[in-house]
Structure 1
Amino acid sequence: MKLNLLLLVSGRFISGIGSTVLTFALSLYVLDITGTAGTFSLVLSLSVLPMIFVNMFTGVFVDRYNKKRIIVGSDILSGVIVIAYTGLLNFYPKSIVLIVFYVLTISTIQSFFNLAVNSSIPEIVNKDNIPTANAAIQGISAIVNIIGPIIGAVLYTTFGIKVIFMLNGIVLILSGIFEMFLKFKKLNTSSDDSIGKKGYLADLKTTFSYLYSQKIIIFFLAFAAVVSLIYYPMVSMVLTYVSYNIMKVSGIQLSIIQASAAVGTIAGASLISFIKSLSSNMIKRFFTLFKIQAILFILWLLPFGAQTLTKNMWVITIIFSIILVILSSVNTLQNVSMISYFQFQIPEELLGRVFGVFMTAAFIFSPVGLWLYGVLLDIFKWYYLTTASGIILLLIGIFAVKSKYFQDFINDFKIKQGEML
């Protein structure tokens, strides 16, 4: 099982570096050949669409078929497509249509891959190591998000986009080879030995019937959908716009602010890795962690105060960075504890499809939120929006923790853990 975890983390690191480098370089390439922010944002936003529309239906496929083959095949197929695209660049170097097709194709394949990985963790590692595995994957993602753009900028400037495509294709294939050596435990599917014998639509019906019977999962799905309208746009778009376009921090200072979020993710993941009991304790404090994040959004007023008082961009950078480190650490503790809990509780034969529904809920309102915040930033002062967003999230957390569904969930969880109220 330790070897499995090492192979999984190594494969994720190798392919993660390659994908991050290519994503960053591709964004520069699109800007170079189009010169328009509109086309650039359109191409990037298309990568979210498969996560919204494909995940809902790919979960059944992931559960019905061999997860190891899906994981290995997704990486190797992605590598082959990337290498093939390298050849097409020689004939259509400035084709936006080709780039859009590439983004949609790779994002779709990676939707299969991510679902297969999330749903197969209980089959790859021992039960006690599920939180550690989830934390390790989160930490690896954070590390590659720090160093990937730097490597991408250097390679793009030195060698150009074609070399990066070729290298990424090779890296993805190597990652798939690493993953061939993963050992999967045999599933115990005696609770529903008809799984895999039903038709596709029947399996979808089974999924939604299961979800309907699990009110707490429906509760978390609805919560994730609502929060995606605010949280994702705030950290992915508003932060960059406010710090760079309004406060006028430099490119280097902006990279430090963005890297601080990854540092926070690593810190949160490390805590769960070294303190295994932390994951089970954090699920009981899910909304306490959420309310802390809401307050941190309100504290975005601190850099505004620093700008008013000092005009020193490094003071603004340091304050934003400290807020982002804490925000990402808390968010990682919250997310890993929730994912680990559901990996413990959801039947293994249903994990893929349930995670597919969850991923859809987590991203379904994100494009709407991005558009809405873009419009509102042109109408209102930014600090009104960030403060109002923090207050709204805080109120959601206050009311959600008092809901019957969550209170029943906590009581049941304490009983299972041998605790008494």
Structure 2
Amino acid sequence: MTITKSNWKRNFFTIWTGQAISQFSSAVLQFAIVWYLTDKTGSAMVLSIAMMMGFLPQGLLGPFIGVFIDRYNRKRIMIISDLLISAASFVMVVAGGFGRLSTELILVVLMIRSIGSAFHTPCLQAVTPQIVPEDQLTRCSGYSQALESVSQILSPVIAAVLYASWSLSGIIFLDVIGALLAVFTLGITVIPKLQQDETAGKVQLIREAKEGFQILRTNKGMLGLVLISSVHTVALMPTSAFIPLMSMSYFNGTSTHASIVEVMFSIGVLLGSLVLARWGGTKNRIYTILGSFLVMSFGLFVMGILPTGGFYIFALCAVLIGVSAPFYMGIYTPLLQSNFEAKYLGRVLSLSSSIRLLSGPIGLAFAGVFTERCGVEKWFPIAGGLVLLAAILTVLIPCVRNCDKRVDSLNENAQIESEISTEKKAV
């Protein structure tokens, strides 16, 4: 079945309405869990483990999960993933009702939810080009970024109100309802079926995951962009973790000051997302990413050279970085979506996400040692330099600079597909 111009918007916004509700309820729960673990344990180690449980399964399992996304019905996978996430959360509701909501159970549930997200997120990204016309992918990505930024702005406030007046079990139950609403909107949405190879024998994870890497490797421009994005992640993941420390330690502020910076950043993301959704980016989308890198690098450099009385300039720089962020992520995903055939998107998107996620701990480890010795404020110019390096590499490497050329990439995909077919016959 083909999605026509007259109904693609209805399908896209039906899915994203459900996803926005689920995303918002999950964000509220995330803040509530952090506060709960802080109140109950007061342990930085427990909070670090909780953070690792949130993204490490996605990074480790991504290359293999993409095999299932490309082989089986993507709509069904998203529904099952949402049901798994809601079921895991419901276990915490039941445990809370019996007074047995332990830290260990919360960590296990966070891991299960992360596994569900590892299937759901790349699957949703792979489905989007099946619904949305290619020339609208960037705008729709801008809408998605806007919804995410609204969630980032409102969820801490709502979480604070609910945490003060409800039990944690009540907040968890709210997230269960959000996940079930996401399942409902997926159920009533029309998603074209790909000719996926469900009957082509047993799943061979290693071989099929390798095929996804071969497809990504053949498109040298997109592979280069994925690796450059890892440099970006090495810079930004520690930076996001250090912003509260800068607000409260370096600038001698309070948790209120830290919240102000987070909200200012989210407002910037919202503004940038709305501009991207309206504008759509430059004709060669790689130059939009380049602009994002340059603006972000400038903001980080300024953050790192401020005196201890420069908190409000620090907050304004957070807005600037927030504005620039959607012009990177809001373009990066559509570039991947439009450069590869739909039947390979699950593996390509999962693999690229894993590469980025696994580079994060490298940045956290290096930055943690560096800031202990040199001071947290010294990290920000380093982060700015890394993002500037990403911008320079984007310009200097010709295949990356010119990777926004769908025809060439599809020809390369056809070539590697022929090679894969030959390998299968040989086996």
2:338 to 332, 344, 348: 344
Structure 1, gaps ≥5 residues long? 417-421
User: What residue number does 1:41 align with?
Assistant: 48
2:366 to 364, 372, 378: 372
1:225 and 2:230 aligned:
yes
Structure 1 residues 42, 285: CA separation in 2 closer, same or farther (over 3 Å shift)?
Answer: same
1:3 and 2:10 aligned:
yes
Structure 1 residues 185, 108: CA separation in 2 closer, same or farther (over 3 Å shift)?
Answer: same
Cα distance in 1, alignment partners of residues 173 and 192 from structure 2 = 35
Q: Say whether the 8 Å CA contact 2:72–2:197 is kept in structure 1.
A: no
User: What residue number does 1:145 align with?
Assistant: 152
Q: Say whether the 8 Å CA contact 2:269–2:326 is kept in structure 1.
A: yes
1:200 and 2:243 aligned:
no
Structure 1 residues 116, 279: CA separation in 2 closer, same or farther (over 3 Å shift)?
Answer: farther
1:256 and 2:295 aligned:
no
1:330 and 2:324 aligned:
yes
Q: Say whether the 8 Å CA contact 2:146–2:274 is kept in structure 1.
A: yes
Which residues in structure 2 correspond to 1:117-132 (within 5 Å)? 117-132=124-139
SS of 1:379 mapped into structure 2: helix
The two structures, once aligned, show a CA RMSD in angstroms of 2.3
Cα distance in 1, alignment partners of residues 80 and 408 from structure 2 = 42
1:165 to 154, 172, 180: 172
User: What residue number does 1:363 align with?
Assistant: 357
Same amino acid, percent of matched pairs: 22
1:352 offset after TM fit, Å? 0.8
1:29 and 2:33 aligned:
no
Q: Say whether the 8 Å CA contact 2:394–2:401 is kept in structure 1.
A: no
SS of 1:197 mapped into structure 2: coil
User: What residue number does 2:188 align with?
Assistant: 181
User: What residue number does 1:300 align with?
Assistant: 303
Structure 1 residues 196, 247: CA separation in 2 closer, same or farther (over 3 Å shift)?
Answer: farther
1:210 to 204, 215, 226: 215
Q: Say whether the 8 Å CA contact 1:268–1:328 is kept in structure 2.
A: yes
1:408 offset after TM fit, Å? 4.8
Q: Say whether the 8 Å CA contact 1:228–1:364 is kept in structure 2.
A: no
Cα distance in 1, alignment partners of residues 365 and 323 from structure 2 = 27
Cα distance in 2, alignment partners of residues 388 and 394 from structure 1 = 10
Instruction: Tell me which moved more, 147-156 or 223-232.
Output: 223-232
1:106 offset after TM fit, Å? 0.5
| TM-score, length-scaled by structure 1 | 0.88
Q: How many positions carry a matched residue from both structures?
A: 400
1:134 to 141, 145, 153: 141
Cα distance in 2, alignment partners of residues 397 and 196 from structure 1 = 44
SS of 2:373 mapped into structure 1: coil
Cα distance in 1, alignment partners of residues 156 and 93 from structure 2 = 20
Cα distance in 2, alignment partners of residues 295 and 325 from structure 1 = 12
| TM-score, length-scaled by structure 2 | 0.87
